Structure 1
Amino acid sequence: MTEQESETRRADLSERLGRVRRRIAEATAAAGRSEEPELIVVTKFFPADDVRHLAALGVRQVGENRDQEAGAKAEESTDLPLRWHFIGQLQTNKAKSVVKYADVVQSVDRPQLVAALGKAMRREHERRAENGLPARGALEVLVQVDLRTPEQAAADEQDRPEQGRAATLGRGGASPADVAALASLIEAEEQLTLGGVMAVAPLGSDPVAAFGRLVEISHALQREHPGAVVVSAGMSQDLEAAVAAGATHLRIGSDVLGPRPALR
């Protein structure tokens, strides 16, 4: 990329980011909230150069949902003051890779993943000690919640039973009834800290109602775990609904970065 192309790209990102920040500010005011939710810019499929531009524009939190891409970008960006969120569906065998760069894993939805992340963090702690590297703090994790109603879940499974419940929409998430048990497992892991909950609004549903359910789940969780205050909800198309419901973090991709680049 030439210097002129780089300047043009930064100007484009600045304009897009400004529009999103204004939307967040307006939604916050409309909801009567005193503090804006934190913005996480999801940079999947976009290059590390864009991460650098975003950092220069004041972005401090970035999200990724593919381990290989995320690890490479994080490695290229170690000099930047960024907090890395892993937000995609995570296989247990990828836990040892993710803990090397992620500050937060937002997609914990089953006991096996809690155990894998705890084990990976213990190994990462040992690896750093053996190599004289700075110790890292505990890994913050969020419980991802499946916000589909029982009727929606049944309809999805009837339409595509061969894919299974979580795979039907490719979004995952634990049943609301399982959130408390997962939270207890997370708290039992010394190297993990429970941050709160995360969810994606089900396709074809009212995001206002969906995010309202998520906030109710969050309030119930906080009665047992007062520090688990994070509610990660909302993307480009439904951020206003998430702000109105009480989200503390928003995950915005395309409205900041533009159309997804062609894959090579």
Structure 2
Amino acid sequence: MGSIAENIASVRESLAKSAAAAGRPVDGVTLMAVSKTRHADELRAVAAEGIRDFGENYLQESLDKIEALADMPLVWHFIGPIQSNKTRPIAEHFDWVHSVDRDKIGRRLAEQRPAGMAPLNICLQVNISGEQSKSGCLPEQLPALAEALDGLPNLRLRGLMAIPQATDDERAQRAVFARMRALLSELQQEHPQMDTLSMGMSGDMAAAIAEGSTLVRIGTAIFGPRDYSQKS
């Protein structure tokens, strides 16, 4: 791996090539830096390269970084599993939540979003590969969940998120991302404001963009291997 600046340049080049191959504008895909286990100074270095969207998984660690970087105009995304007792600080400090997978969590986020803040953008997490170890609702549960959460005060239902089963087979990657695209298209019939497909990571970004991803979540390709000793 090179420096953070070199890594970001490489990721952006790959993203642009993938978008061009899919006949899509490059500005139709947001590049999010997945910054779990990373220090605030590393995030500053990423932000200095023009990235504003950061994805965090671990609540206390993320709150420390949000405070440390409060002087910067960053967009904070919570992308990890959510426990009911953690919804209040998430509702108070984040701009996006990608991992809403049940009605209870969505309603708590809506109730606990502070007055005066912009509505919290949410994505419904889909367990698209049916893995027991993964969070997310099943595809057949999506219509009811979207109906329950759309229109709640302080929330804005924006789209879907998935973390598919890992594979190096690009055809298999595209097949599962195509299913996500179809699920979003179906939901848009009743919820036309849903415009976000949060899918694609360092190992499958090209396949995700080919199938319509609007936001890719990139960690390793930007920062290098993770240091889990920083988890909190």
TM-score bracket, normalised by the shorter chain, equals over 0.9
Are residues 1:116 and 2:82 paired? no
Specify the alignment match of 1:18 in structure 2. 9
Residues paired across the two proteins, number: 226
Label 1:118 to 1:76 Cα distance change in 2 as closer, same or farther (>3 A).
Answer: same
The aligned runs of 1:171-210 (5 Å cut-off) are 171-204=134-167, 206-210=172-176
TM-score by length of 1: 0.82
Q: Greater shift after overlay, 205-214 or 216-225? A: 205-214
SS in 2 for 1:197: strand
Q: 1:69 aligns with which of 61, 70, 73?
A: 61
Residue 68 (structure 1) shift: 0.7
Name the CA distance, whole Å, in 1 between partners of 2:56 and 2:81.
11
Note the C-alpha offset of 1:50.
1.0
Query: How far did residue 262 of structure 1 move?
Result: 5.6
Which sections of structure 1, spanning at least 5 residues, go unmatched?
1-10, 126-134, 157-164
More helix by share: 1
Task: Give the structure 2 partner of residue 217 of structure 1.
Answer: 183
2:222 aligned with 1:256, yes or no?
Answer: yes
User: Structure 1: how far apart are the matches of 2:142 and 2:26?
Assistant: 27
Going from structure 1 to structure 2, the CA distance change for 1:174 and 1:223 (only over 3 Å counts) comes to same
- TM-score between the two structures when normalised by the length of structure 2: 0.93
Q: Which residue of 1 aligns with 2:123?
A: 142
Superposition map of 1:4-43 within 5 A = 12-36=3-27, 37-43=29-35
SS of alignment partner, residue 229 of structure 2: coil
Deviation of the 1:203 alpha carbon: 3.2
Q: Output the aligned Cα RMSD.
A: 1.6
**Rounded Cα–Cα distance in structure 2 between residues aligned with 1:55 and 1:34:** 22
Larger radius of gyration: 1
Change over 3 Å in CA distance of 1:172–1:262 after alignment to 2: closer
Sequence identity, in percent? Answer: 36
1:45 paired with 2:8, answer: no
Q: CA deviation at 1:48?
A: 0.6
Residues 17 and 92 (structure 1), Cα distance of their counterparts in 2 relative to 1, 3 Å cut:
same
**2:16–2:26 Cα contact (<8 Å) kept:** no
Match of 1:56 in 2: 48
Where do 1:147-186 residues align within 5 Å? 147-148=128-129, 153=130, 165=132, 168=133, 171-186=134-149
Tell whether the 8 Å contact from 2:92 to 2:112 is kept in structure 1 after alignment. Answer: no
| 1:12-43 deviations in Å (ceiling 9; x for gaps) | 11000000000000111111112441100000
Which 4+ residue blocks in structure 1 deviate beyond 4 angstroms? Answer: none
